[in-house]
Structures are given as structure tokens and as C-alpha cells.
Copies of this chain bind each other. A is one copy, B any other.
């Protein structure tokens, strides 16, 4: 029986044309983030199943590719459930492995530590157009920095990168988990129901305020709380200074540093940004992951229909490993989303040098072949790309194929 030619379900082969763009974006990411003092690190793609299933990953934990135990550890006879068969799995994000990495290596790392990770992650999502079960994530994180300097540097680094990729006029939306919570508390929602309130609030973009109101009532919340809640958003929207509004309204409910931090972040980013974008406070921004403890942020490009980056502060995750909480804040860009946008816009990688193809006749004597190879060597040493290939019978077709790969110069060598 012949072997299987297609990749496994939901994963893809990447051909040279796309790889060229991926390599270019990766290079730009490394160059830009390194200039901000982020150091590349790597963690294994395989992670302990206990860590992967520790409730840090929310719904992603349902999508884990689990790896079977090996040798004597795998006992089919006594296995009662799936859990008995597995001891590891493929990581579903880079944040959990980073937290493990930091817990394991903090003694050998500076404080604060600025990490850059580019790596594949796996999620067994339902296959659909443009979404794959293996995809690259690209995260920067600052560990050990409690002040909002972390947020400022993360936002400046990420937006500088997007600017270098010629993205313009985008929006960085920012909010604070503690504001979300204080508002819900102020309006009298029960604390154990906050997550449900936020899930409904998160739909505002799609269903509008009337929809949010209706769903909150339907979920059984008191009409008073719902009215108070929706009114607050209305008043903020009408206000010249929503942060000032919250500062007054939530006195005593909201921690004292929250509003000041957001103001510092906004002022510093706006004054020193190196790209064309706007930083806006958006009290309706929720973001899914339950591990966020402070600021949350997202980059939106309306013309591309979805967010291209997101992140936030997660000060409680490293403590799950070490017992001691460590301040942590990260920003993840949607690498695959960005590559897709560039591909769809026929992005040309800048400075891709002209490629040369040397086509040689079959059965060329060794001494003549050496002359061709020497010429190729000299060209390569001068920075050119030189493909040396035998001339096919259908030379025209061969050249067409090579042209598609970016070869612009052809030189033919014959035995005579």
C-alpha cells in the first residue's frame, strides 16, 4: 500500500514562496525585539501533561494533542481512562512553558527578564479555512517587572515591529481586569458570576448594548445591576475623560494605582511611539484567558477583520510553579495572521537579490563542469544565489518553473 501523501488533518506543508515571507517576518521580529533587549529562548514542544491540564489554558486544554506513555509505563490492561495512557502532550501556547522555564531557570536569568519566543504550538481545533492545527506563535514577555514599564516596553516593541511591516493606522485597545471586576462589583453582580458577565460583555461588538442588556437579564441578573452597568458604559462613552470618570465613580472599589498606571502607559506610548497607531482605553475589552490579573491589550486592524496581537499581565501564573508569585506581562503577535495578510497583499520581500540559474548540458566532462562550478562559486561569494542544474529536455518549461521561484537570469553551458 502506498504511503500517505497529504499532511495529517489540519496541518500544512509550507512551500518556498510562503517560507520566504515567513523567514522575512521572523528575521524582522528578532531584529526589532532584540533591539528592545528581549533575549530569544526556547522550550521543548512537548510539555508535562500535568502542566498542560492545570486549568491555565482555559478551553485550549480540550484541544491538546496527547502523547502516549512508552514502554512499561503504557499498560493497556489496567488503563481505566485516557489519562492513564498519557504523560505528556504538545504545548498549546508559549505562556505556560515560559512560566515553567522561568521557574526552572530564574537563578540564571537577570531580573527583570525579557524573553522572546518564536515557536510552533498545537491545538486540535476543528479544521477550517486559514486555521491550522500547528501554527507559529511569537511572544515577548517581561518577567519580574511589577511596574507599568513592562506594558510600555511591550506595546512600544510590538507596534514598532508592525510599523516596520508597513502596518498603519491601527488601534491598540487597552483595559484592566481590575477595572472589569470593580465595575461588576460596583453594580452589584455576584462575584462568582463575574466571568459570565464578562463573556456577555465581550459580545458587545456583535450584539450591541441592547443585546448585552437582554443576555444579562436572560442569564438571571437583577434588572438594577444590568441597568447600572450598561449606563456606566454609556456615561464613559459620553465622557471626555473615561479614566477620570472611573476614578471618581469607583473610589474605594478600585485599587489606587490602576488609573494612574493606565495614564502613564498612554502618555508614554503616545509620546515615544515609532509607528502610526492610536492607544485607546476600551472598557469593553475582555480577552478570554482567565489567567490575566491586570492590564489586557489587543491590536485591531479593522481592514483585516480581526485582532493581530494580544496580551496582558498574569502575575499569578509563575507562583503555580514556585509557590511565589512573580510579576509577568506578555504580548503575543498573530504570526500566522500577519503572514496571511502579507501573502494576500502580494507583499514583496525587500532586497530579495536577483537569482541566477546555470543550466548545463548533460554528461558534461569533469574539467568543463569544474569551470562552471568555479564561476558559480565566484558569484555566490559575491552574494548572488546561483542554482546549478542540468538542462531539461523541455528547457522552456524548466525556465518558466525557475522564474516562478524568482530566477531572473539564465546562463547556458554546453559540452562543445
Contacts of A36 in B (CB 8 A): 380, 385-387
List, in ascending order, chain B residues with CB within 8 A of A70's CB. Answer: 65, 124
What is the interface of chain A mostly: helix, strand, loop, or mixed? mixed
Q: Identify the interface centre among A12, A133, A376, A389: most chain B CB within 10 Å of its CB.
A: A389
Q: Is A6 in contact with chain B by the CB < 8 A criterion?
A: yes
Contact, CB under 8 Å: A41 / B19: yes
Of A147-155, A197-205, A209-217, A288-296, which binds chain B?
A: A147-155
* Segment among A221-229, A237-245, A316-324 that sits at the interface with chain B: A316-324
Instruction: Decide if A35 touches B100 in the complex (CB within 8 Å).
Output: no
A411 CB to nearest chain B CB (Å)? 13
Q: Which of A4, A19, A85 is most buried by chain B, counting CB atoms within 10 A of its CB?
A: A4
A263 at the interface (CB under 8 A from B): yes
Number of copies: 2
- Note all chain B residues with C-beta closer than 8 A to A398: 110-111
A119 CB to nearest chain B CB (Å): 9
A residues apposed to B, CB below 8 Å = 2-8, 11-16, 19-20, 22-23, 30, 34-37, 39-48, 50-51, 54, 65-68, 70, 74, 76, 79, 81-82, 85-86, 88, 90, 100-101, 103-105, 108-112, 114, 120, 122, 124, 133-134, 145, 147, 149, 152-153, 156, 160, 263-264, 267-268, 271-272, 274, 320-323, 355, 357, 360, 362, 366-367, 369-370, 373-374, 376-377, 380-381, 383-390, 392, 398, 401-402, 404-405
